[in-house]
Structure formats: structure tokens, C-alpha cells
Amino acid sequence: MKIDSFTFVKSNSTLYRKNFGKCSKIFKNLLNSRENFFFDTLSEQYQKNLFLKKNLLKKKLHKKILVIGMGGSVLGSKMISSFFGLDKNYYFLDNLNNIAINDLIKKDLSMFTIFVISKSGQTLETLTNCNIILSHFKKRKKNLSKNFIIISEKNNALFNFAKKNSILFFEHNTNLSGRYSVLSDPGLLMFNIDYKKIILGINSVLKGNLKKDLIKNTATILSLMKKSKIDTYVSLIYSNNLLNYGYWHQQLLAESIGKNGKDLTPIISECPKDHHSIMQLFLDGNRNKFFTFFKIANKKIDRSIKDHFNQKFRSNSLNNIINAQFNATISVFKKNFIPFRVILIDPKKSTQNLISLLVYSMMETVILCKALDLNPFNQPAVEAIKKETYLKLS
């Protein structure tokens, strides 16, 4: 993974130097205190143990996978699936949608492995979707233990159901927030990913070449929030395989930092499509935004284009046109002094680079929260809606 950071805050300014020192200290303290189980998922021992679990699961898993969950319980696996182009075999129920669930029920679900993931074991939407799928199975008198795997905390509705029906159960650590669980059971159990590459990706951020970038970038964002009143974080995504990363990061940032009247509102922009819609606002609207350009560099898949309109381009292919738009937008941002950075994924090291991006994003978010005196791991406001919903259903 390569990060090009462009200077919009002077590195010798008092504000930046203060924030750089603050972020550096927070980074060290986080790794020493390990206050959330998230930090344990970054250890080599944890990833080795998870790899052994995945090896035991290999024979049980069907070719097709259905994941039922909400938010952090499903966004991580959904992102990994789309990044590696596995969409033909991976399906997700992550909303209440009659059309989506009816389409799934028409399929032969006995040929699927079905992961039901809820940390609390009582997420309303997850249990609702699971109830419908279970009714479908029971009508056909199917053995649930052959198809279902449950990931949850112990001593709740899902845990008891798994025990009663001899369903394979994996415990969700109580001290692990869902949005930080992507490198644990909920995010990785359903994928055959080389754990050595996972460890390389983790260490490149915690110990390697990306560590300095992490501190510098976080200090820059903090300085921009203070100096330029930046309150919006825009992800400009130029590779379709990274779009679900955008949705995962949106939840990570929004639930972690949106507290006590503070925020860094995340916006996902699918480019170059959005050049023809919201880009006008980005270029000429309120200067309250920080931008990150995301792209997979030099993708192998490309399509040459025959010119029927006499445009006289020197080299005509889909990738060339996307690259031209990507680089043109960067040039315009520079000329307009709009604060941004560029993150490029190397397709030759795709697994390692993806893991680096995930760890980098989570660490950056945690450091930002700590610097703003916020708890990165809770979401108290959302709990109020859950309680009110159950009251209305009672």
C-alpha cells in the first residue's frame, strides 16, 4: 500500500508539531494498554489460532456462503468478498428487505453455509432475517447443524439456539466492538486467506513503513479539524472492488467519532461517476472537507476501446480513461488547495495491502478519537433506538 500525503499543514507549525507528538504518544499507549480486544486480533498468535479454526472449517463449508448480520458483524466480510471478486458465491442479508430475502429463499439453501453473526445475540434485524431462513429450512425438514454456523457472545438467544440444535458456535469476544472485528472470527472465518500475508499487512502498519505515515496523517487531519474547521471526510473511490471498503470505513468512522457533539462525517463518493454529480460541491462548495483518493493501481483486467467518434486519443482503454480522470482530479484539487491524500493498492500484493489498509484505518480512527477525548469503541446513542424499537414491538 502506498500513501501519497500532500502538504496542507506546515510541518514546522506549532499546531502540527503538537498534534504529531500527541498522536505518537497515543499510538504507543494504545499498543501497551491494549484496552480493547481489537488489539489482540492484531497479534501473530491470534491470527495463527484463527488460521487453525479456518482449517478445521474447510470440510464443513459449502461453496456458497450466506452471511446474516448487521453493521460491523457483516460489513467486514462483505468488503473482503467484493475486494477479491467473490460476489458470485457470497451472499449477505444486512437489512430488512422483502425482495432480497424472497430471492434467497428461491435458491437451494441446503447448498449454502449460513453464518449468523450478532455480538449481542439479540440484534432485531439479524434475528428477523434468521427466523425467516429457519422457517424455510424447517418446512423442508433440513438438519440445521449441516448448514448453520453462529458467532455471538455466550448466554443469549443465539447461543441457546445453537446449543439446542447442535449448531457449530464460535464465541464473539465481549470486549470487541463489531466495527473493529474484521480481523477476527466474524470477518475472516468464511475466507481462505493466508495468515502469513495477514500478519505482514498488520505489521507493516504497527512496526513497518506505514507507521510513520499513520502518525503524520492523523496529526494532519487533527490540525485541519482545528485550523480549517474540517468536519467531513470524503472517500473518493476509483476502483469498484474498494466500494464496500468505503461502506465499512463509513461505519467505523461514524460510530467511533460521532459523539459529544464532535464528528468527522464520512461521505462515500463513487468515481468517476460522481464527477457528474457531487464533484461540483466538492470543488466549489464549503471548504470543510478532507479527501482521500482510493485506487487499485494498474489493474490486470482492462478493455481496449475502438474509437467510433474520432476522439483521437493516443491510447484508448477503460483503465487509461479512468487513470486520466483520477490524475486530472488530483491536479485540480492541488490547484485549488483542497486538502487530500492518495492511497494506492498494489494488486501484486493485494491481500497484504488490504489488511494494511484495514489496520491503518482502524488505528487512525482510534488515535483520532483518543486525541478528541472520545471512546472509540462504544456507540451509546444507537442503543437508545434499539430500546425504543423493542418497546414499540412489545
pLDDT tens column, 263-286 = 999 999 999 999 999 999 999 999
Per-residue confidence (pLDDT) for residue 19, from 0 to 100:
96
Strand order in the sheet with 265-270: 2-5, 340-345, 289-296, 232-237, 265-270
Stretches in the chain below the pLDDT threshold 70: 299-301, 314-315
Per-residue confidence (pLDDT) for residue 315, from 0 to 100:
67
- Residues 6+ away with beta carbon under 8 Å from 179: 71, 72, 75, 248, 251, 252, 255, 256
Distance spanning both ends of the chain, measured CA to CA: 50
Burial of 157 (0-12, 13-18, 19+ CB in 10 A): middle
2-32+196-380 CATH choice from 3.40.50.300, 3.50.50.100, 3.90.180.10, 3.40.50.10490: 3.40.50.10490
CB 372 within 8 A of CB 264: no
Per-residue confidence (pLDDT) for residue 14, from 0 to 100:
94
Which residue type occupies 68?
Answer: I
Per-residue confidence (pLDDT) for residue 130, from 0 to 100:
96
CB 209 within 8 A of CB 3: no
- Residues 6+ away with beta carbon under 8 Å from 221: 230, 233, 264, 290, 364, 368
Per-residue confidence (pLDDT) for residue 5, from 0 to 100:
78
Question: What is the C-alpha to C-alpha distance for residues 274 and 279, in angstroms, rounded to an integer?
Answer: 6
Per-residue confidence (pLDDT) for residue 300, from 0 to 100:
66
Q: Identical fold at 2-32+196-380 and 59-191?
A: yes
Question: What is the C-alpha to C-alpha distance for residues 341 and 236, in angstroms, rounded to an integer?
Answer: 10
59-191 has CATH 3.40.50.10490 classification: yes
Parse the chain into domains and list their residue ranges: 2-32+196-380, 59-191
Per-residue confidence (pLDDT) for residue 299, from 0 to 100:
64
pTM: 0.95
Note the pLDDT tens digit of each residue in 334-368.
Answer: 999 999 999 999 999 999 999 999 999 999 999 99
Per-residue confidence (pLDDT) for residue 219, from 0 to 100:
96
CA-nearest of 97, 107, 111 to 142 is 111
The β-bridge relationship of strands 289-296 and 148-152 is unpaired
